[in-house]
Amino acid sequence: MIDIKLLREDPDRVRASQLARGEDPEVVGAILAADERRRSALGQFEALRAEQKSVSKQVGAAMGAYQRARRSGAPDVAGLEAAATTARERAAELSERVKALEAAAAQAGEQLHTLMRTVGNVIVDGVPSGGEDDYVVLETIGTPRDFVAEGFEPRDHLALGELLGAIDMERGAKVAGARFYFLTGVGARLELALLNMAVAQAVGAGFTPVITPTLVRPEVIVGAGFMDAHAEEVYHLQTDDLYLTGTSEVALAGYHADEIIDLTAGPKRYAGWSACYRREAGSHGKDTRGIIRVHQFHKVEMFVYCRPEDAAAEHQRLLDWEREMLAKVEVPYRIIDTAAGDLGSPAARKFDCEAWVPTQGRYRELTSTSNCTTFQARRLNTREREPGRSGTRAVATLNGTLATTRWIVAILENHQQPDGSVVVPSALRPFLGLDVLTPVG
């Protein structure tokens, strides 16, 4: 959720962010109007509530005077009774008005809350405007192999996976349906080796490894921002009202929900390993061959809590750690600055690393790292003691991929040999225990 203070003080910046995302900028005016209604109703409620307390004291005093006069037979009993009655009537009237104003303030608050949740995180300076195809290429690393010069036609990852006894899509579909698969033999070993290498790197960089739940409560997945524009991609277990996560980012975003955390020693960095589930709604006909776009996969995800002023620098560190992992698997890749309309609600900026896939003749995403500033933490009420002040403030959260099942695609295709064998990248060999993957049978 964006900072209401930012919206009040700089609405044009929020409008500009909405336009860059391809979203409605007019919602900013609607939010400001709802905010004004809420603040006005609260002001009237508080003023009338103070008057109500004063009148309540007057009722008590008037009733006390009347009772004493009646007991003593004083001549002004009738007048005191009338005064007490008037005070009670006034108190009853105020009580009704206070209830009405409290309800109006609550209703305005709900409207404000609903409207605020429709606004994506305010993008940071430098993010390209536009949609999925409007990214900016920041850097290209490595050179794709020239298979024509090498004298053979490259096989795609599925053909290689079947030769190696590593990927079984047919039985995956038999057991679970389309976009499911088995990793078998060296395929299973390759995924485990890759993910273990990612964890080893993360631990070496000071991350705390975490195996996360893959089912979360509604308030967690909503708080993480995964039920806004992409709710149709999330699996929901209706009987239990739990959601399957598409990344351990969701569970890790909820890890410190409703807590005040200590960041005086620096960022809190976690590396979450989990199975991930995505319905891939809207992807009918896209990437139906192989394991590029599937419903279930494994991933090691970096997740960081830090101070807001440190978030931009931390974002660059996450990108550097992703680059380090990509160097270990020795594949050509490029880094793109994702356009605002393709960020997703929580991210204020996102960098993707895309590996070259020879048989597709294009780059495909392997990693992404997002700076979510205080968006998720505001929703999930994760705070820190404000440095040099007595209050608390929302922290910043960031995330970044270190390895996923999809990396197998790039490894197999970029390191294949004419006979269908695959040379294992040197950094991966100690984790896999093999130098070359050879065809079976």
CA distances, 361 to each of 146, 265, 355 (Å): 11, 46, 11
**284 part of a folded domain:** yes
* 204 and 266 both lie in a single domain: yes
Residue 229 counted as domain residue:
yes
Would residue 128 count as lying in a domain? no
**DSSP one-letter code for 435:** S
Is residue 124, in this structure, part of any structural domain at all?
no
DSSP result, 216-267 = E-HHHHHHTT-SSTTGGGS-EETTTTEEE-SSHHHHHHHHTTT-B---TT--
Q: Which of 17, 248, 368, 370 is catalytic?
A: 368
Q: Are 201 and 348 part of one and the same domain?
A: yes
Secondary structure E strands in 280-348: 296-306, 333-337
Say whether pLDDT at 83 is over 70: no
User: 268-277 and 208-211 as β-strands: parallel, antiparallel, unpaired?
Assistant: parallel
Q: Which of 38, 317, 379, 406 is catalytic?
A: 406
Q: Which of 155, 278, 349, 379 is catalytic?
A: 278
The question of whether 406 is a catalytic residue gets the answer yes
Could you tell me if residue 307 is left (phi over 0), alpha (psi between -120 and 50 degrees) or otherwise beta? Answer: beta
Residues 165, 109 within the same domain = no
Per the CB < 8 A criterion, the answer to whether 406 and 287 are in contact is no
Residues forming a β-bridge with 242: 237
Please confirm, yes or no, whether 293 is among the known catalytic residues: yes
Catalytic residue, chosen from 8, 293, 393, 429, is 293
Q: What is the mean pLDDT of residues 34-55?
A: 79
Q: Is the dihedral of CA 414, 416, 299, 232 positive or negative?
A: positive
Q: Where are the alpha helices (DSSP H) in 151-217?
A: 157-163, 169-176, 186-204
| Residue 366, pLDDT above cutoff 80 | yes
Edge-to-edge strand order for the sheet containing 396-404?
A: 136-141, 333-337, 349-357, 362-371, 396-404, 296-306, 268-277, 208-211
Asked whether residue 245 falls in the same domain as residue 370, the answer is yes
For 278-329, the pLDDT digits (tens) are 998 666 777 789 999 999 999 999 999 999 999 999 999 999 999 999 999 9
Which residue range is the domain that position 104 belongs to?
4-116
Instruction: Collect all residues with Cβ–Cβ distance below 8 Å to 295 and sequence separation of at least 6.
Output: 176, 179, 180, 277, 278, 279, 280
Integer Cα distance of 272 and 283 in angstroms:
26
pLDDT value of residue 308: 97
Judge whether 71 counts as a catalytic residue: no
Residue 127 lies in a domain: no
- Same-domain status, 98 and 150: no
The domain that holds 330 is classified in CATH as 3.30.930.10
Length of the chain: 441
Residue range 148-155: mean pLDDT, rounded: 97
Across the chain, mean pLDDT equals 91
Strands 236-237 vs 242-244: parallel, antiparallel or unpaired: antiparallel
Decide if 126 is inside a domain. Answer: no
Residue 37 sits in a domain whose CATH number is 1.10.287.40
Which tens digits make up the pLDDT trace of 166-184? 999 999 999 999 999 999 9
pTM of structure: 0.89
**Banded model confidence at residue 75, pLDDT cuts 50, 70, 90:** low
Q: Is 70 annotated in the active site?
A: no
97, 365, 393, 429: the catalytic one is 365
**130 occurs within a structural domain:** no
**Same-domain status, 237 and 306:** yes
Largest CA distance in the chain: 120
What is the H or E stretch that residue 423 is in? strand 422-423
Catalytic: 368?
A: yes
Q: What is the band of 38 on the pLDDT scale with cuts at 50, 70, 90? A: confident
Helices (H), 245-373: 248-255, 311-329
- Which of 41 and 57 is assigned the larger pLDDT? 41
- Same structural domain for residues 140 and 108? no
Across 74-100, average pLDDT? 67
